[in-house]
Amino acid sequence: MLKIFSRRTGKSSGKKRGAIFQTVDVGSGIGEWTSKQAERFPSRTYVAVDPLYSLGKGAPFIRKMIKRLSKKGVKVEPRTLEDFLKTMIKRKQKARNFNIDMPTHPFELYNFEFLFENISRVLFPNGKIFVKSEMHTKLRKLRELAKRYSLRVSAIKSLPRIPVESLRTGAMKLIAEDSIQSPEKKTYQIYSLVITYGLKKARKDFDNQR
Ligand SMILES: C[S@@+](CC[C@H](N)C(=O)[O-])C[C@H]1O[C@@H](n2cnc3c(N)ncnc32)[C@H](O)[C@@H]1O
């Protein structure tokens, strides 16, 4: 019982602070990917972060969404990325990965700079940040920003064309359906970028800054 409670709250049973998260899903929305992962790997802690969840009290749809995620053992955080990072730092929590699917409206509000500045406090060495977006230019800028923080970056890749129903999140499906339906936009394109916190390089850089 205590174990289940620990996994859901992200806290270890013995200590009040400190935890290891498998993946922090940022801007998780409905959270279909996170809940599938939590179901597949019940011993891992997944966190769904989205300011949308703070509307839960007044919106039955969102309340249901939170309930569904919590039932699967996902830790729900009604915050922005920046606010959640501050909480992680305060509680000494770290993640193996961050997952950021379709960060739109507006991209800049996510404050990736704050994430990169604090990367050694919130991500384990060789931890990864997976970003997917339809906005190639924004991903290119993000890639440049990550490089400035001495993080390892992949090339920006197009997702292979797969059937709409196999796309993993609601936002991806919406974009795909929209571009298929409009005659002038016959194709849809979603791009992927992977940023890795390679300890050696990043630590050297951060030591220099301190
Ligand atoms: C386009 S939806 C993507 C939802 C889901 N990841 C998907 O792919 O279906 C973007 C989500 O990011 C959330 N969001 C907006 N600003 C955010 C921020 N600063 N930090 C975290 N999430 C944010 C929104 O509330 C929204 O649910």
Percent pLDDT > 70 in the chain is: 81
> Which residue's CA is the closest to the ligand 1 atom numbered 20?
80
Dist. CA 52–CA 153, nearest whole Å:
29
* Ligand 1 binding pocket mutation candidate from 47, 102, 138 (most atoms within 8 A of CB): 102
- Pairing verdict, β 93-101 and 123-133: parallel
Percent pLDDT > 90 in the chain is: 62
Q: Angle 161-189-106 (CA atoms, 0-180°, nearest 5)?
A: 140
* Ligand 1 binding pocket mutation candidate from 25, 46, 49, 50 (most atoms within 8 A of CB): 50
CATH code for the part of the protein at 2-204: 3.40.50.150
Q: Tell whether ligand 1 has an atom less than 6 A from the beta carbon of residue 170.
A: yes
Q: Please state, in angstroms and as integers, the Cα–Cα distance from residue 68 to each residue in 31, 71, 186, following that order.
A: 9, 5, 35
**Sign of the dihedral defined by the CA atoms of residues 151, 155, 160, 164, in that order:** positive
Which tokens in the block code for residue 95? 């993640």
> Which residue's CA is the closest to the ligand 1 atom numbered 25?
52
Which tokens in the block code for residue 93? 């929590």
Q: Please compute the mean of the pLDDT values over residues 10-16 and round it to a whole number.
A: 42
Which atom number of ligand 1 is nearest to the Cα of residue 105?
Answer: 15
Task: State the DSSP H helix or E strand holding residue 126, giving kind and residue range, or none if neither.
Answer: strand 123-133
Residue 13 has pLDDT above 80, yes or no: no
Q: Tell whether ligand 1 has an atom less than 6 A from the beta carbon of residue 52.
A: yes
Which range has the worst mean pLDDT, 57-61, 95-99, 166-170? 166-170
Dist. CA 145–CA 15, nearest whole Å:
36
**Sign of the dihedral defined by the CA atoms of residues 80, 156, 171, 9, in that order:** negative
Which tokens in the block code for residue 130? 């997976």
Give the count of alpha carbons within 13 A of 45, CB side only: 23
Q: 166, 8, 45, 43: which is closest to 34 by C-alpha?
A: 45
Model pLDDT for residues 116-152, shown as the tens digit of each residue: 999 999 999 999 999 999 999 999 999 999 999 999 9
Q: Tell whether ligand 1 has an atom less than 6 A from the beta carbon of residue 109.
A: yes
Dist. CA 195–CA 110, nearest whole Å:
16
Domain boundaries, the chain: 2-204
> Which residue's CA is the closest to the ligand 1 atom numbered 27?
29
Residue 39 has pLDDT above 90, yes or no: yes
Q: Tell whether ligand 1 has an atom less than 6 A from the beta carbon of residue 196.
A: no
Please, which residues bridge with residue 49 across strands? 26, 77
Q: Tell me the whole-structure pTM to 2 decimals.
A: 0.84
Could you write out the DSSP letters of every residue in 55-70?
GTTT-HHHHHHHHHHH
Confidence of residue 178 (pLDDT cuts 50, 70, 90): confident
